[in-house]
Amino acid sequence: MSTTKPIKYPWWYGGAGGVFATLMTHPLDLAKVRLQAAPMPKPTLRKMLTTILKNENVMGLYSGLSAAILRQCTYTTVRFGAYDLMKENIVPVNQLNNMLYLLPCSMISGAVGGLAGNFADVVNIRMQNDSALDNHLRRNYKNAIDGVYKIYKNEGGFKTLLTGWKPNMVRGVLMTASQVVTYDVFKNYLTTKLGFDPKKNSTHLSASLLAGLVATTICSPADVIKTRIMNGHGTSNESAIKILTTAIRKEGPGFMFRGWLPSFTRLGPFTMLIFFAIEQLKKHRIGMPREEINKPL
Protein backbone atom coordinates (compact mmCIF):
# COMPACT_ATOMS: atom_id res chain seq x y z
CA MET A 1 0.00 0.00 0.00
CA SER A 2 1.36 3.39 -1.00
CA THR A 3 2.19 5.82 1.76
CA THR A 4 3.17 8.66 -0.58
CA LYS A 5 1.93 11.94 0.78
CA PRO A 6 -0.81 13.56 -1.34
CA ILE A 7 -0.10 16.76 -3.20
CA LYS A 8 -0.98 19.86 -1.19
CA TYR A 9 -3.10 22.11 -3.35
CA PRO A 10 -3.66 25.83 -2.54
CA TRP A 11 -6.35 26.52 0.06
CA TRP A 12 -8.13 29.00 -2.21
CA TYR A 13 -9.03 26.55 -5.00
CA GLY A 14 -12.51 25.99 -3.57
CA GLY A 15 -13.26 29.71 -3.41
CA ALA A 16 -11.97 30.27 -6.94
CA GLY A 17 -14.13 27.42 -8.20
CA GLY A 18 -17.09 28.86 -6.32
CA VAL A 19 -16.69 32.28 -7.94
CA PHE A 20 -16.50 30.68 -11.39
CA ALA A 21 -19.62 28.60 -10.73
CA THR A 22 -21.48 31.60 -9.32
CA LEU A 23 -20.86 33.68 -12.44
CA MET A 24 -22.44 30.90 -14.51
CA THR A 25 -25.43 30.05 -12.29
CA HIS A 26 -26.36 33.31 -10.51
CA PRO A 27 -29.71 33.80 -12.32
CA LEU A 28 -30.87 30.38 -11.11
CA ASP A 29 -29.81 31.15 -7.53
CA LEU A 30 -31.65 34.47 -7.74
CA ALA A 31 -34.84 32.72 -8.85
CA LYS A 32 -34.46 30.14 -6.07
CA VAL A 33 -34.14 32.79 -3.34
CA ARG A 34 -37.19 34.67 -4.60
CA LEU A 35 -39.23 31.49 -4.83
CA GLN A 36 -38.36 30.60 -1.25
CA ALA A 37 -39.31 34.06 0.01
CA ALA A 38 -42.42 34.48 -2.17
CA PRO A 39 -45.90 34.21 -0.60
CA MET A 40 -48.30 31.43 -1.50
CA PRO A 41 -49.20 30.37 -4.13
CA LYS A 42 -45.64 29.93 -5.35
CA PRO A 43 -44.86 30.66 -9.02
CA THR A 44 -42.93 28.18 -11.12
CA LEU A 45 -39.22 28.62 -11.82
CA ARG A 46 -39.96 29.53 -15.43
CA LYS A 47 -42.54 32.11 -14.42
CA MET A 48 -40.21 33.62 -11.85
CA LEU A 49 -37.41 33.99 -14.42
CA THR A 50 -39.86 35.43 -16.94
CA THR A 51 -41.12 37.95 -14.38
CA ILE A 52 -37.59 39.05 -13.52
CA LEU A 53 -36.75 39.52 -17.20
CA LYS A 54 -39.98 41.42 -17.83
CA ASN A 55 -39.67 43.78 -14.89
CA GLU A 56 -35.91 44.14 -14.51
CA ASN A 57 -34.42 43.25 -17.90
CA VAL A 58 -31.41 40.98 -18.35
CA MET A 59 -29.37 42.82 -15.72
CA GLY A 60 -32.05 41.93 -13.19
CA LEU A 61 -30.94 38.32 -13.45
CA TYR A 62 -27.64 39.37 -11.88
CA SER A 63 -29.07 41.34 -8.97
CA GLY A 64 -26.81 40.94 -5.97
CA LEU A 65 -23.93 39.43 -7.93
CA SER A 66 -21.31 41.28 -5.88
CA ALA A 67 -22.74 39.79 -2.67
CA ALA A 68 -22.83 36.32 -4.23
CA ILE A 69 -19.14 36.64 -5.12
CA LEU A 70 -18.32 37.90 -1.62
CA ARG A 71 -20.13 34.86 -0.24
CA GLN A 72 -17.96 32.52 -2.31
CA CYS A 73 -14.83 34.36 -1.19
CA THR A 74 -15.77 33.74 2.44
CA TYR A 75 -18.11 30.79 2.94
CA THR A 76 -16.91 28.55 0.11
CA THR A 77 -13.23 29.40 0.48
CA VAL A 78 -13.28 28.61 4.20
CA ARG A 79 -15.27 25.38 4.04
CA PHE A 80 -13.34 23.90 1.10
CA GLY A 81 -10.03 25.16 2.44
CA ALA A 82 -10.63 23.79 5.94
CA TYR A 83 -11.83 20.45 4.55
CA ASP A 84 -8.73 20.02 2.39
CA LEU A 85 -6.49 21.16 5.23
CA MET A 86 -7.91 18.50 7.55
CA LYS A 87 -7.69 15.82 4.86
CA GLU A 88 -4.02 16.67 4.31
CA ASN A 89 -3.01 16.85 7.97
CA ILE A 90 -5.40 14.63 9.93
CA VAL A 91 -6.75 11.86 7.71
CA PRO A 92 -4.30 8.95 7.14
CA VAL A 93 -3.23 8.57 3.52
CA ASN A 94 -4.83 5.13 3.29
CA GLN A 95 -8.16 6.44 4.62
CA LEU A 96 -8.77 9.32 2.19
CA ASN A 97 -11.99 7.70 0.92
CA ASN A 98 -13.25 6.52 4.29
CA MET A 99 -16.46 8.35 5.28
CA LEU A 100 -15.75 7.76 8.97
CA TYR A 101 -12.85 10.21 8.56
CA LEU A 102 -14.31 12.47 5.87
CA LEU A 103 -17.68 13.19 7.50
CA PRO A 104 -16.31 14.74 10.72
CA CYS A 105 -13.85 16.83 8.68
CA SER A 106 -16.61 18.06 6.37
CA MET A 107 -18.99 18.85 9.23
CA ILE A 108 -16.42 20.92 11.11
CA SER A 109 -15.31 22.78 7.99
CA GLY A 110 -18.93 23.38 6.95
CA ALA A 111 -19.81 24.87 10.34
CA VAL A 112 -16.77 27.16 10.30
CA GLY A 113 -17.50 28.20 6.72
CA GLY A 114 -21.16 28.89 7.47
CA LEU A 115 -20.22 31.21 10.32
CA ALA A 116 -17.42 32.93 8.40
CA GLY A 117 -19.66 33.66 5.43
CA ASN A 118 -22.84 34.56 7.33
CA PHE A 119 -22.51 38.33 6.89
CA ALA A 120 -22.10 37.91 3.13
CA ASP A 121 -25.07 35.55 3.02
CA VAL A 122 -27.32 38.12 4.73
CA VAL A 123 -26.39 40.76 2.15
CA ASN A 124 -26.61 38.24 -0.68
CA ILE A 125 -30.18 37.19 0.11
CA ARG A 126 -31.33 40.76 0.68
CA MET A 127 -29.83 42.04 -2.57
CA GLN A 128 -31.24 39.18 -4.62
CA ASN A 129 -34.74 39.68 -3.22
CA ASP A 130 -34.72 43.49 -3.10
CA SER A 131 -36.32 44.18 -6.48
CA ALA A 132 -39.19 41.84 -5.66
CA LEU A 133 -40.21 43.97 -2.64
CA ASP A 134 -42.48 47.01 -2.55
CA ASN A 135 -40.59 50.27 -2.95
CA HIS A 136 -40.86 51.25 0.72
CA LEU A 137 -39.32 47.96 1.80
CA ARG A 138 -36.31 47.97 -0.51
CA ARG A 139 -32.83 48.46 0.93
CA ASN A 140 -31.23 49.61 -2.34
CA TYR A 141 -27.70 48.53 -1.50
CA LYS A 142 -25.25 49.71 -4.16
CA ASN A 143 -23.09 46.61 -3.78
CA ALA A 144 -22.10 44.02 -1.21
CA ILE A 145 -19.69 46.30 0.69
CA ASP A 146 -22.32 49.04 0.83
CA GLY A 147 -24.80 46.49 2.16
CA VAL A 148 -22.44 45.30 4.90
CA TYR A 149 -21.70 48.90 5.89
CA LYS A 150 -25.37 49.95 6.04
CA ILE A 151 -26.40 46.89 8.02
CA TYR A 152 -23.58 47.46 10.49
CA LYS A 153 -24.31 51.18 10.80
CA ASN A 154 -28.11 51.22 10.79
CA GLU A 155 -29.29 47.84 12.03
CA GLY A 156 -27.41 46.95 15.16
CA GLY A 157 -23.90 46.19 13.97
CA PHE A 158 -22.51 42.67 14.08
CA LYS A 159 -25.67 41.25 15.63
CA THR A 160 -27.68 41.82 12.45
CA LEU A 161 -24.83 40.60 10.25
CA LEU A 162 -25.06 37.36 12.23
CA THR A 163 -28.79 37.03 11.58
CA GLY A 164 -29.63 33.40 10.88
CA TRP A 165 -26.18 32.13 11.81
CA LYS A 166 -27.54 28.98 13.45
CA PRO A 167 -29.46 27.63 10.41
CA ASN A 168 -26.64 28.88 8.21
CA MET A 169 -24.10 26.82 10.18
CA VAL A 170 -26.44 23.84 10.01
CA ARG A 171 -26.75 24.34 6.27
CA GLY A 172 -22.96 24.68 6.00
CA VAL A 173 -22.53 21.37 7.79
CA LEU A 174 -25.15 19.64 5.63
CA MET A 175 -23.92 21.19 2.40
CA THR A 176 -20.26 20.41 2.93
CA ALA A 177 -20.91 16.88 4.16
CA SER A 178 -23.33 16.11 1.34
CA GLN A 179 -21.33 17.89 -1.37
CA VAL A 180 -17.60 17.38 -0.89
CA VAL A 181 -17.79 13.99 0.84
CA THR A 182 -20.26 12.52 -1.66
CA TYR A 183 -18.13 13.91 -4.50
CA ASP A 184 -15.06 12.16 -3.12
CA VAL A 185 -17.03 8.95 -2.53
CA PHE A 186 -18.79 8.96 -5.91
CA LYS A 187 -15.55 9.77 -7.72
CA ASN A 188 -13.79 6.92 -5.96
CA TYR A 189 -16.65 4.52 -6.74
CA LEU A 190 -16.77 5.50 -10.42
CA THR A 191 -13.03 5.05 -10.83
CA THR A 192 -12.50 1.90 -8.76
CA LYS A 193 -15.77 0.02 -9.36
CA LEU A 194 -17.03 1.19 -12.75
CA GLY A 195 -13.73 1.73 -14.50
CA PHE A 196 -14.01 5.48 -15.11
CA ASP A 197 -10.80 7.32 -15.93
CA PRO A 198 -9.96 9.54 -12.90
CA LYS A 199 -8.35 12.13 -15.17
CA LYS A 200 -11.30 12.61 -17.54
CA ASN A 201 -13.76 15.50 -17.21
CA SER A 202 -16.68 13.10 -17.69
CA THR A 203 -15.72 11.37 -14.44
CA HIS A 204 -15.57 14.66 -12.54
CA LEU A 205 -18.87 15.87 -14.01
CA SER A 206 -20.67 12.58 -13.26
CA ALA A 207 -19.49 12.51 -9.64
CA SER A 208 -20.35 16.18 -9.11
CA LEU A 209 -23.84 15.79 -10.62
CA LEU A 210 -24.61 12.97 -8.19
CA ALA A 211 -23.18 15.04 -5.34
CA GLY A 212 -25.39 17.97 -6.34
CA LEU A 213 -28.50 15.78 -6.24
CA VAL A 214 -27.68 14.57 -2.72
CA ALA A 215 -26.74 18.06 -1.50
CA THR A 216 -29.94 19.69 -2.78
CA THR A 217 -32.18 17.19 -1.04
CA ILE A 218 -30.35 17.20 2.27
CA CYS A 219 -29.92 20.99 2.46
CA SER A 220 -33.37 22.09 1.31
CA PRO A 221 -35.05 22.44 4.76
CA ALA A 222 -32.20 24.48 6.28
CA ASP A 223 -31.91 26.55 3.10
CA VAL A 224 -35.59 27.55 3.12
CA ILE A 225 -35.55 28.51 6.81
CA LYS A 226 -32.28 30.43 6.40
CA THR A 227 -33.71 32.43 3.50
CA ARG A 228 -36.83 33.41 5.44
CA ILE A 229 -34.88 34.50 8.49
CA MET A 230 -32.25 36.53 6.62
CA ASN A 231 -34.83 38.23 4.42
CA GLY A 232 -36.71 39.54 7.47
CA HIS A 233 -37.06 43.24 8.19
CA GLY A 234 -35.79 43.46 11.73
CA THR A 235 -39.23 43.76 13.32
CA SER A 236 -39.41 40.00 13.70
CA ASN A 237 -37.22 38.16 16.17
CA GLU A 238 -38.67 34.76 15.48
CA SER A 239 -36.36 31.83 16.02
CA ALA A 240 -35.72 29.14 13.45
CA ILE A 241 -37.93 26.77 15.47
CA LYS A 242 -40.81 29.30 15.50
CA ILE A 243 -40.51 29.86 11.76
CA LEU A 244 -40.39 26.11 11.20
CA THR A 245 -43.47 25.31 13.29
CA THR A 246 -45.48 28.23 11.88
CA ALA A 247 -44.64 27.28 8.30
CA ILE A 248 -45.51 23.61 8.86
CA ARG A 249 -48.84 24.62 10.39
CA LYS A 250 -49.74 27.00 7.55
CA GLU A 251 -48.11 25.32 4.56
CA GLY A 252 -47.55 21.71 5.57
CA PRO A 253 -44.23 19.83 5.84
CA GLY A 254 -43.75 20.18 2.09
CA PHE A 255 -42.62 23.78 2.67
CA MET A 256 -39.20 22.43 3.69
CA PHE A 257 -38.66 21.42 0.07
CA ARG A 258 -40.13 24.59 -1.40
CA GLY A 259 -38.05 25.49 -4.41
CA TRP A 260 -36.36 22.06 -4.58
CA LEU A 261 -36.45 22.03 -8.39
CA PRO A 262 -34.92 25.50 -8.81
CA SER A 263 -32.47 24.61 -6.04
CA PHE A 264 -31.34 21.52 -7.93
CA THR A 265 -31.51 23.37 -11.25
CA ARG A 266 -29.01 25.77 -9.73
CA LEU A 267 -27.06 23.52 -7.34
CA GLY A 268 -26.65 20.67 -9.83
CA PRO A 269 -24.83 22.82 -12.43
CA PHE A 270 -23.14 24.80 -9.63
CA THR A 271 -21.70 21.65 -8.08
CA MET A 272 -20.58 20.38 -11.48
CA LEU A 273 -18.94 23.70 -12.32
CA ILE A 274 -17.22 24.21 -8.98
CA PHE A 275 -15.63 20.75 -8.98
CA PHE A 276 -14.81 21.06 -12.69
CA ALA A 277 -13.00 24.34 -11.95
CA ILE A 278 -11.19 22.84 -8.95
CA GLU A 279 -10.09 19.82 -10.98
CA GLN A 280 -8.78 22.10 -13.72
CA LEU A 281 -6.85 24.17 -11.19
CA LYS A 282 -5.38 20.97 -9.79
CA LYS A 283 -4.59 19.61 -13.23
CA HIS A 284 -2.65 22.72 -14.22
CA ARG A 285 -1.38 23.30 -10.66
CA ILE A 286 -2.18 27.00 -10.77
CA GLY A 287 -0.46 29.07 -8.09
CA MET A 288 1.54 26.18 -6.67
CA PRO A 289 5.23 26.26 -5.64
CA ARG A 290 7.70 24.62 -7.98
CA GLU A 291 8.38 21.64 -5.68
CA GLU A 292 4.67 20.77 -5.70
CA ILE A 293 4.29 21.35 -9.46
CA ASN A 294 7.04 18.81 -10.14
CA LYS A 295 5.45 16.05 -8.03
CA PRO A 296 3.96 13.19 -10.05
CA LEU A 297 0.17 12.84 -10.06
Looking at residue 93, its pLDDT comes to 86
Task: Tell me the Ramachandran region of residue 44: left when phi exceeds 0, alpha when psi lies from -120 to 50, beta otherwise.
Answer: beta
Residues 6+ apart with CB under 8 A from 268: 209, 212, 213, 216
Euclidean distance between CA atoms 58 and 250, whole angstroms: 35
Looking at residue 256, its pLDDT comes to 67
How long is the chain? 297
Residues 6+ apart with CB under 8 A from 167: 222, 225, 226, 229, 240
Identify whether the C-beta of residue 169 lies closer than 8 Å to the C-beta of residue 241.
no
Looking at residue 1, its pLDDT comes to 42
Looking at residue 254, its pLDDT comes to 65
Domains and CATH numbers, the chain: 13-293 (1.50.40.10)
Looking at residue 235, its pLDDT comes to 46
Residues in the chain, pLDDT under 50: 1-2, 235
Q: What is the pTM of this model?
A: 0.81
Looking at residue 221, its pLDDT comes to 76
Looking at residue 118, its pLDDT comes to 95
